[in-house]
Amino acid sequence: MFPTRLNDLFTRLSAYSALVVAFELAIIWVCVYAIVRFVQGTRAAGALKGLLLIGIVAGIAARVLGGAEVFQRIGLLYDRLLAFLAIGLVVIFQPELRRALVRLGETPFFKSSPKEIALVIDEICEACKNLSRARFGAIIVIERSIAVAGAVEGGTPMNAELSARLLQTIFFPGSALHDLAVVVKGKKIAAAGVQLPLAEPDEMPDKRLGSRHRAAVGVSKECDALVVVVSEESGQIRIAERGRLSVMSNSEELEIELKKRLNPQAIKQAIDEAVAAAQAEAAAEDASAANPSNEATNSFEAIGQEQQGDEEFGKGAA
């Protein structure tokens, strides 16, 4: 019965034109590739691989067995489960779907001339230098290709010309807006007192970093914004991009990094590098999870060497 069913399936496939089959396979490949590109480097990548494998196996089994009278209920159950699975995927991958839709609608924003970009960078660096020296906390979100409006909440619209003095005034501890973020759009401060999404504690490179750094990492994962953070405790300046924090040793290094990362030609390259790095990190995590025994073996070897050293030391003392 099963060989007959398989023969019928291959007979139907052979009836199609090779060109039509190749075209359909190409479309399917493009769709799968686009989905993988959207989720690669995220926590959803592993789950998606498992779901794809289960879906392929279940689909083949349902098509092969579902045609037989004995296994008709399997085919019926598979068809019904597909609808619930689609709803479940929307719920499970909601953050990834939102980012995908945002990226599909992204348009180049930073169309300022190189001279205007240089002026914006100078004002931000001057403000950060003074804020760092005074140990005043600050978080500045520089919008690039993707609008940050969909990832932030609240805020006071300003539409004011960007200047170092205005930034220092906003982040002065006595200001009503100093605890939250400033959004820079082009050469203007679009809004102040903006609430940003917080990254999860396990996503932070250093658990000692506070809410400002969690907010910087969180919003940089939602869009391609470049975020400058000044620590209130240490005065340290950091840049957050694509969920990664980079420490700046001084305002001069900050200026160099901003010029490099706000260069329109460098934005795409920075995004590709961040995606590749995230993919490599995810692969390393998968490898370490697949070989947990290596760490245990190394620990046992270290303990054995320590015990052997203690025994030799005891013999020498005796």
pLDDT of residue 318: 45
pLDDT of residue 102: 59
Q: Are residues 94 and 145 in the same domain?
A: no
Q: Where are the beta strands (DSSP E) in the chain?
A: 138-142, 156-161, 181-185, 188-194, 226-230, 237-241, 244-248
pLDDT of residue 265: 59
Structural domain contains residue 232: yes
Three-class secondary structure of residue 248 per DSSP: strand
Q: Are residues 134 and 237 in the same domain?
A: yes
Structural domain contains residue 306: no
- For residue 89, the one-letter residue type is L
Q: Using N-to-C axis directions, what is the helix angle for 44-66 and 72-92, rounded to 10°?
A: 160
How far apart CA 148 and CA 50 sit, in angstroms, is 32
Structural domain contains residue 26: yes
Report CA 59 to chain centroid distance, whole Å. Answer: 31
Q: Are residues 57 and 37 in the same domain?
A: yes
Q: What are the backbone angles phi and psi of residue 243, rounded to the nearest 5°? A: 80, 10
How far apart CA 215 and CA 193 sit, in angstroms, is 13
Query: β-strand 156-161 against 138-142: which pairing, if any?
Result: unpaired
Domain count, the chain: 2
Q: Are residues 14 and 56 in the same domain?
A: yes
How far apart CA 76 and CA 178 sit, in angstroms, is 59
**Residues contacting residue 289 through CB under 8 Å, at least 6 positions apart:** none
Of the candidates 127, 94, 273, which has an alpha carbon nearest to the alpha carbon of residue 142?
Answer: 127
**Residues contacting residue 246 through CB under 8 Å, at least 6 positions apart:** 238, 239, 240, 257
pLDDT of residue 19: 82
CATH of the domain at 210: 3.40.1700.10
Query: Model's pTM, two decimal places?
Result: 0.55
pLDDT of residue 54: 76
Where among 54, 69, 104 does a domain terminate?
104
How far apart CA 216 and CA 198 sit, in angstroms, is 8
pLDDT of residue 296: 45
Full residue range of the structural domain in which residue 19 is found: 2-104
Q: Are residues 7 and 151 in the same domain?
A: no
Structural domain contains residue 268: yes
Q: Spell out, as residue ranges, where the chain has pLDDT lower than 50.
A: 107-109, 295-297, 299-300, 302-303, 306, 309-318
Report CA 272 to chain centroid distance, whole Å. Answer: 12
Q: Are residues 264 and 154 in the same domain?
A: yes
Structure token pair of residue 37 = 């590109």
Determine whether 235 is exposed, middle or buried from the number of CB atoms within 10 Å of its CB (0-12, 13-18, 19+). Answer: middle
Within 10 Å of residue 144's Cβ, how many Cβ atoms? 23
Determine whether 131 is exposed, middle or buried from the number of CB atoms within 10 Å of its CB (0-12, 13-18, 19+). Answer: buried
